Amino acid sequence: MSFPLLTATAALPAIGAIATAAVPAARRTAAKWLALLVSLATLALAIVVLVRFDPDGDRYQLTESHAWIKEFGVRYELGVDGIGVALLALTALLIPFIILAGWHDADPLETGNKRWRPTQGFFALILAVEAMVIISFEATDVFLFYIFFEAMLIPMYFLIGGFGDRAHEHGEEAASTQRSYAAVKFLLYNLVGGLIMLAAVIGLYVVAGNFSLQAIAEARANGSLHMATSTERWLFLGFFFAFAVKAPLWPLHTWLPNAMGEATAPVAVLITAVVDKVGTFAMLRYCLQLFPEASKWATPAILVLALISIIYGALLAVGQRDIKRLVAYASISHFGFIILGIFAMTSQGQSGATLYMVNHGISTAALMLVAGFLISRRGSRLIADYGGVQKVAPVLAGTFLIGGLATLSLPGLAPFVSEFLVLVGTFARYPAIGIIATFGIVLAALYVLVLYQRTMTGPVKPEVSTMPDLRARELVVVTPLIILLIFLGVYPKPVTDIVNPAVKSTLSDVHKKDPQPEVEAAK
pLDDT tens per residue across span 246-294: 988 989 888 889 888 888 889 999 999 999 899 999 999 898 888 888 9
Question: Does 106 have pLDDT greater than 80?
Answer: no
Least trusted range by pLDDT, from 167-176, 240-249, 383-392: 167-176
User: The whole model's pTM is what?
Assistant: 0.90
Strand 61-69 to 74-80 pairing: antiparallel
Written as one letter, the residue type at 115 is R
pLDDT digits (tens, 9 = 90+) for 75-87: 889 999 999 999 9
Selection from 331, 237, 223 nearest residue 277 by Cα: 331
pLDDT in tens, 298-319: 999 999 999 999 999 999 999 8
Cβ proximity of 79 and 64 under 8 Å: yes
Residue 114: pLDDT band with limits 50, 70, 90: very low
Compute the half-sphere exposure of residue 372: CA atoms within 13 Å on the CB side of its CA.
Answer: 30
pLDDT band at 120; cut points 50, 70, 90: confident
> Which uninterrupted H or E stretch holds 75?
strand 74-80
Average the pLDDT over 200-223 and give the result.
Answer: 83
Q: Where are the beta strands (DSSP E) in 353-466?
A: none
Q: Rounded to an integer, what distance in angstroms lies between the CA atom of residue 337 and that of residue 334?
A: 5
Q: Is 283 left (phi over 0), alpha (psi -120 to 50) or beta?
A: alpha
As a whole number, the mean pLDDT across the chain is: 87
Q: What is the pLDDT of residue 376?
A: 85
Least confident interval from 344-353, 373-382, 408-417, 506-515: 506-515
pLDDT number for residue 178: 80
Q: Average pLDDT of 15-41?
A: 90
Q: How many Cα neighbours within 13 Å face the side chain of 328?
A: 27
CA–CA gap between residue 300 and residue 296 (Å, rounded) = 8
Query: What is each CA distance from 221 to 46, 215, 234, 291, 512, in whole angstroms?
Result: 32, 10, 20, 11, 14
Q: How far is CA 292 from CA 37, 113, 287, 430, in A?
A: 42, 57, 7, 19
pLDDT at 224 over 80: no
The reported pLDDT for the residue numbered 113 is 45
Identify the weakest region by mean pLDDT among 440-444, 489-493, 518-522.
518-522
Of 65-74, 78-87, 93-102, 193-202, least confident by mean pLDDT is 65-74
Please say if the pLDDT value at position 520 is more than 80.
no
For 111, phi and psi rounded to 5 degrees?
-120, -170
DSSP label at residue 521: P
pLDDT number for residue 214:
83
Q: Give per-residue burial for 42-73: e unless 16+ CB within 10 Å, then b.
A: bbebbeebbeebeeeeebbbbebeeeeeeeeb
SS (H, E, C) 210-266: CCEHHHHHHHHHHCCCCCCHHHHHHHHHHHHHHHHHHCCCCCCCCHHHHHHHHCCHH
- Judged against a pLDDT cut of 50, whether residue 344 lies above it is answered with yes
Any idea where the domains of the chain sit in the sequence? 5-509
Report the percent of the chain where pLDDT is more than 90.
50
Identity of the amino acid at 371: A
Residue range 136-188, pLDDT digits in tens:
999 999 999 999 999 999 999 989 888 876 655 555 566 677 888 888 898 99
Band (pLDDT 50/70/90 cuts) for residue 123 is: very high
Q: What average pLDDT score do residues 467-487 get?
A: 92
25 vs 473, more confident: 473
367 contacts 400 by C-beta, under 8 angstroms: yes
Half-sphere exposure of 293 (CA within 13 A, CB side): 12
Instruction: Measure the CA–CA gap between 412 and 419, rounded to whole angstroms.
Output: 12
Q: What is the pLDDT of residue 200?
A: 92
- DSSP track, 105-130: TTS----TT-----HHHHHHHHHHHH
For the chain, what percent of residues have pLDDT higher than 70? 94
pLDDT at 48: 94
